[in-house]
Amino acid sequence: MNLKRVVVTGLGALTPIGNTTEEFWKGLINGVSGAAPITRFDASLFKTQFACEVKNLDLDQFIDRKEARKMDAFTQYAMITADEAIADSGIDLESIDKSRAGVIWGSGIGGLRTFQEEVTDFARGDGTPRFNPFFIPKMIADISAGFISIKYGFRGPNFVTVSACASATNALIDAFNYIRLGKADLFISGGSEAAVSEAGIGGFNAMKALSQRNDSPTTASRPFDKDRDGFVLGEGAGALILEELEHAKARGAKIYAELVGGGMTADAYHITAPHPEGLGASSVMKIALDDAGLKPEDIDYINVHGTSTPLGDVGETKAIQKIFGDHAYKLNISSTKSMTGHLLGAAGAVEAIASILAINNSIVPPTINHFTDDEAFDPGLNLTFNHAQKREINYALSNTFGFGGHNCSVIFKKYN
């Protein structure tokens, strides 16, 4: 079967280090940390009192107030980035076949803030079941894709993937497969998350998953550093327009990159801990390479999952060395979560955008906050510490892994 080729023709980003794609990229290459004391609520009694929040967002610029009240923040973020991606793509919405345009989105948690607020209000009441009529529609994860499709009239495949922190990459792979199988022409795909809340911070604190470096939030996310003590919770969204190549060329679209391969596996090991030898991580990269018809030595840059947890960072580098062998020492490897924090179900989309922009600009974003080497990591690996590095990038691979043992990898190619 002749598979269609899939390209990226639009980008949208809303992150803790920039509220547009351009601002996000500037933050990345300048090594900006998005971590700061929490403003969403009084966090003084929590073990972790900081996060990577979206900052200086004037919602009224993007969404009508009446409509915004029907949406949890994770859906608002989805709408803002979808709008940017559509505008960036230059799509004439009146000229495309909307029955062949779809939305596949990702969110690991969905409307956590809405759930917390409604249940808390009920618990504080007199027992009378009074709930906002928008409670359920605001909370459910799939509503983000629903709102996007309604706004643009896209009548093709429409759903949300939920695979924890791998959700957005899962969504990209699903959209990729629909297009290359000839079942659709284009998708708005990506992911969003807005879990910076009492429930989010408290829940991850209870798991001992979050950094507790309250004395220095900006340096708390430190992947591969000896003193890393957990991830920093982030929020935001990333949207990509994925389009069949000939469809894009016919309308004269600018093309950022080609999506050439994807892989999905399971660790089948533990509900939260990654496999200590990176078993699922190594197999998913191998599957993505095979899917793209590439050899390990074709890859120039890996945007790693790299959450700044004691176990996860070690397992991922072991997996890279297993698959890439001697070529691992010729790669640039970096974790942009050192700057954005961990955007959970949105991470894969935001990091895909980082990988695409790295290809376009021939610059590898850094892994910031490296202070102390850890003997657990091979010193021969180029983990791109503290400063961006110029490099020609023809192929970039992006990893995202999630609680439950979900692993996803995607590979982007420079479009010629």
Locate tokens 């090594």: which residue? 31
So what's the pLDDT on residue 237? 98
What are the two backbone dihedrals, phi and then psi, of residue 245, each rounded to the nearest 5 degrees?
A: -55, -50
Distance CA 382, CA 310 (A): 19
Cα separations in angstroms, 313 against 22, 53, 125, 278, 305: 28, 23, 45, 10, 8
Tokens at 31, concatenated: 């090594």
Indicate the Cα dihedral angle 132, 138, 141, 146, nearest 10°: 130
| Sheet with 332-334, side-by-side order of all strands | 158-161, 101-106, 186-193, 236-244, 6-14, 257-266, 406-413, 395-402, 301-303, 332-334
So what's the pLDDT on residue 276? 83
DSSP 239: E
> Could you please report the per-residue DSSP string of 83-110?
HHHHHHHT--TTTS-GGGEEEEEE-SS-
408 an active-site residue? no
So what's the pLDDT on residue 116? 97
So what's the pLDDT on residue 150? 98
Using CA of residue 198, residue 50, residue 32, residue 170, what is the dihedral sign? negative
Question: What residue ranges define each of the domains in the chain, with the CATH number in brackets?
Answer: 6-250 (3.40.47.10), 263-413 (3.40.47.10)
What are the two backbone dihedrals, phi and then psi, of residue 362, each rounded to the nearest 5 degrees?
A: 55, 45
Given 8, 78, 165, 302, the catalytic residue: 165
The 3-state DSSP class for residue 241 equals: strand
So what's the pLDDT on residue 277? 84
What are the mean pLDDT values of the chain's consecutive 10-residue runs (416 residues total)? 95 98 98 98 98 97 95 98 98 97 98 96 91 96 98 98 98 98 98 98 98 98 98 98 98 98 96 88 98 98 96 94 98 98 98 98 98 97 98 98 96 96
